[in-house]
A and B are shown apart, each in its own frame.
Chain A
Amino acid sequence: MEGIKDDVGHVPLLEAEEEEEEEEGRRPLRLRGSYLGIFGSTVFLVSMAALIIYQGHDYYDEAKIENKGNNNNNYNKVPRGVAEGVSAKSNSFLSETTPSYNWTNAMLSWQRTAFHFQPERNWMNDPNGPLFHKGWYHLFYQYNPFSAVWGNITWGHAVSRDLIHWLYLPEAIVRDMWFDINGAWSGSATLLPGGEIVMLYTGYTHQQVQVQNLAYPADASDPLLLNWVKYAKNPVMVPPPGIGPNDFRDPTTAWFGPDNKWTLTLGSMLNDSGLSLVYKTTDFINYELNDHFLHIVPGTGMWECVDFYPVSINGSVGLDTSANGPGVKHVLKASLDDTKLDYYAIGTYFIENDTWIPDDPDLDVGIGLRLDYGKYYASKSFYDQNKQRRVLWGWINESDSEVADITKGWASLQTIPRTVLYDKKTGTNLLQWPVEEIESLRLSSHEFKELLVKPGTVVPLHIGPATQLDIIAEFEIELLGSEGIVNNVEGCGVGAVERSAFGPFGILAIANDQLSELTPIYFRLSNHGNGTSTITTSTSFCVDETRSSKAPDVSKQVFGSKVPVLNDEKLSLRVLVDHSIIESFAQGGRTVISSRVYPTEAIYGAARLFLFNNATDINIKASLKIWQLNSAFIRPFPFHDTQ
């Protein structure tokens, strides 16, 4: 049974006393006197020790230092001057001799996207409280009103009719109360059956404690939900005993259960084990903490932005967060603070005691599947009751330097919202797919059928401009030469230059004619003979940023993962290209990779699209349909116009 441990360790001293006492029970009066003496000395010593320990010393930080020591064993070997430590912004793209790049305004302006949500300027991070209300989709987001780096966080706000065409609104939640003065951080909305909206969000108090606060629309009949009221007696949840004041954040949407209570969960950690706490409420003001966690996974560190929701194993529609019963599985997702990666696992929710276990413990939260294998974090889903689908948002940070962000005046994007479904064919994956409303941006299209691409060749696709595209492609493989080739080079390797028998092959996006800058999105197949005649094939799906830009001061990684491919399936991909972001989906969304690119030459009219086949032993036949995509013209809400 999982539970919260009381980790104040001075108790044994007193217990030793009591055992001694029982042995000598013959003369109670004298014993009591000496017992008092011992008790008094113990109290004195313990309180003296406690005073020294707690004075100006963060107990929780100390515990973390002891536990985290092992994670930093690289430090003694780090050469002087190389900044170690993975961070969301500066990945290991730095070498001793890396010069920076003279970014021009043209290059920087090109980076701004045409149809991905981003504020007009400044910094954004986690998506917050997404919901649909009175005809409008709402998106809130962590926003810095003053700078293109994280800080001064408030809740930005935007609305849309269709999840694509967004209109900026004034900030919804600012830091103006003691319970959020140091941060109005992430949170979620719960829609009540009567139509009321309840928003729970994490506030960082004036005393530097993470708490959960309640807010609600000032006027629920306002379709734009412009103004929000904070509950006067906030916070409604504070860190419980045993949980650190900085390990308590990001409450989820609540779900209603057979106990006639609302249940919600939020992430935390104990001794480097990530976990999800469970709270129950009937009024969203008073909460009871469950004595066991929803789930805990050792070694995963702090769980941020926990998301918990049902999926239909039938796989055809999204489910309301309160849905349950046969034919329903539950997804638990966490953003790992330590690694800046989003993980999910599919499993079973035991509503009787509010615990959850994964279908496959080897693919548990934090150690198994990722929602997105690229630059992606802090994702959050909501149930769209308008179209009965579960929609997923994800934050895409920049991969360039902060100098560039400050120069260009903005940082970060949200993904195109994705529908989420259980993949009933594999039973192991979720399927993510861009919401269908993106098709409203489609302009002209080009179609190619069964283009032959021989080993070691690149085929240009003449489609006109190539910076705003929706690409759907299928690939067939023709084995060349003898059948018996076994190639067990698998995975994404060092990138698309690494040739093997059955890959890589795919497309080159944001590439120029000279191919001096290019971003391959590709498959690599491998098979493993294991002595018998059985050969198993595995497929990897990858995005290679290493040549996406000549500039040395941007992060350029190879991202990817294995993707399940069933026997009757062709290899398929969908790619959304939008200037400096590329979202790539394999096999209907079983594996997704979001990528940021910052080319210096393959911009504007110089950007092209190609097919490529860098495998050695197969021909590729590719069929593609490619649309030009219009801008979404994301702009401030036109309050001044008469509607």
Chain B
Amino acid sequence: MTNLKTTTTLFFFLFLIVMTSLPSITLCDEKLIESTCRQTPNFNLCVQSLKSFPGSATADVRGLGLIMVKVMQSKANDAINKIRELQRSAPSPALTSCASKYNAIVVGDIPEANEAFSKGMPKFAENGANDAANEATFCENGFNGRSPLTQQNNAMRDVAAITAAIARQLL
């Protein structure tokens, strides 16, 4: 019965080889979220943002980028809502300037990043995301230190920077 022993041993080693090589090929997509987020400026925020969307568990890197664009959209909406609220109670030129910046984010940067991720042209996703981060920074700095939008601008900037970093991974 030497052959059966050999067969079994072989089978066992086969099994070992396959099972030990599986983890390094990233069996679980949760590891993809983590390895992707490790290469962004804010690991925790990246993981938390992605995991809050149901599709992230099975998304590839491009899919994660698309999810982050949705997160950007949501942060932009938060900022726009806050701006509208403030425009009623405490209007100012800086606030008006912020309105136009966030308008550009919503009509320009986000559609650009969305299309760029969907259509396999990540460099334009990086452009759009970087520009969105810049616009949020300009909005914030327009208040010369007394900004009523700090939380929203920081949120926008942070998620945009993460999105840009994911785009860079696809280049």
Contact = CB atoms under 8 A, between A and B. Distances in A.
Contacts of B97: 100, 102
B103 to A, nearest CB: 8
B115 to A, nearest CB: 5
A553 interface: yes
Interface in B83-111: 97, 100-101, 104, 107-109, 111
Task: With a 10 A CB-CB cut-off, give which of B26, B60, B130 has the most chain A CB atoms.
Answer: B130
Given A52-B22, A65-B35, A98 B138 contact: yes
Given A45-B18, A68-B169, A98-B137, A38 B39 contact: no
Nearest to A88: B127
A322 interface: no
A147 B111 CA distance: 10
Contact of B118 (A208, A245, A405): A208
Q: Please classify how large the interface on chain A is, using the bins under 10, 10 to 19, 20 to 34, 35 or more.
A: 35 or more
Given A34-B4, A57-B60, A75 B108 contact: no
B40 A75 contact: yes
Given A149-B112, A150-B124, A62 B171 contact: no
Given A52-B22, A246-B120, A147 B108 contact: yes
Contacts of A246: 120, 170
Interface string A26-65: 0100110010011001100110010011011110011011
Nearest to B111: A151
Q: Please classify how large the interface on chain B is, using the bins under 10, 10 to 19, 20 to 34, 35 or more.
A: 35 or more
Given A52-B22, A151-B112, A13 B17 contact: yes
A94 B61 contact: no
Interface string A103-115: 0000000000000
A210 B120 CA distance: 9
B29 A57 contact: yes
Contact of B168 (A17, A72, A94, A98): A72
A302 B41 CA distance: 24
B141 interface: yes
Contact of A301 (B6, B17, B165, B171): B171
A488 B154 CA distance: 45
Contact of A83 (B18, B101, B160): B160
Contacts of A90: 127, 130-131, 133-134
B169 A337 contact: no
Interface string A543-579: 0000000000100000000000000000000000000
Contacts of A78: 41, 161
A41 B154 contact: no
Nearest to B21: A49
Determine the main DSSP class of B at the interface with A: helix
A183 B118 CA distance: 11
B59 interface: yes
Interface in A296-316: 301-302
A62 B32 CA distance: 8
Task: With a 10 A CB-CB cut-off, give which of A24, A38, A151, A337 has the most chain B CB atoms.
Answer: A151
Contact of A99 (B18, B135, B141, B165): B141
Nearest to A304: B123
A52 B128 CA distance: 34
Interface in A344-391: none
Nearest to B120: A246
A538 to B, nearest CB: 33
B108 A148 contact: yes
Given A150-B124, A208-B118, A403-B138, 14 more contacts: A13-B14, A27-B3, A34-B6, A38-B7, A38-B11, A75-B40, A83-B161, A84-B41, A89-B127, A89-B130, A147-B108, A149-B108, A149-B128, A183-B121
Interface of A: 13, 17, 20, 24, 27, 30-31, 34, 37-38, 41-42, 45-46, 49, 52-53, 55-58, 61-62, 64-65, 68-69, 71-72, 75, 78, 80-81, 83-85, 87-90, 94, 96-100, 102, 147-152, 182-183, 204, 208, 210, 245-246, 301-302, 337-338, 340, 401-403, 405-407, 553
Interface of B: 3-4, 6-7, 10-11, 14-15, 17-18, 21-22, 25-27, 29, 32, 35-36, 39-42, 58-62, 97, 100-101, 104, 107-109, 111-112, 115-116, 118-121, 123-124, 126-128, 130-131, 133-135, 137-139, 141-142, 144, 154, 157-158, 160-161, 164-165, 168-171
20 contacts: A13-B17, A31-B3, A38-B11, A38-B14, A41-B14, A45-B14, A52-B27, A56-B58, A56-B60, A64-B170, A75-B40, A84-B164, A85-B130, A90-B131, A100-B142, A183-B119, A204-B120, A208-B119, A401-B138, A403-B100
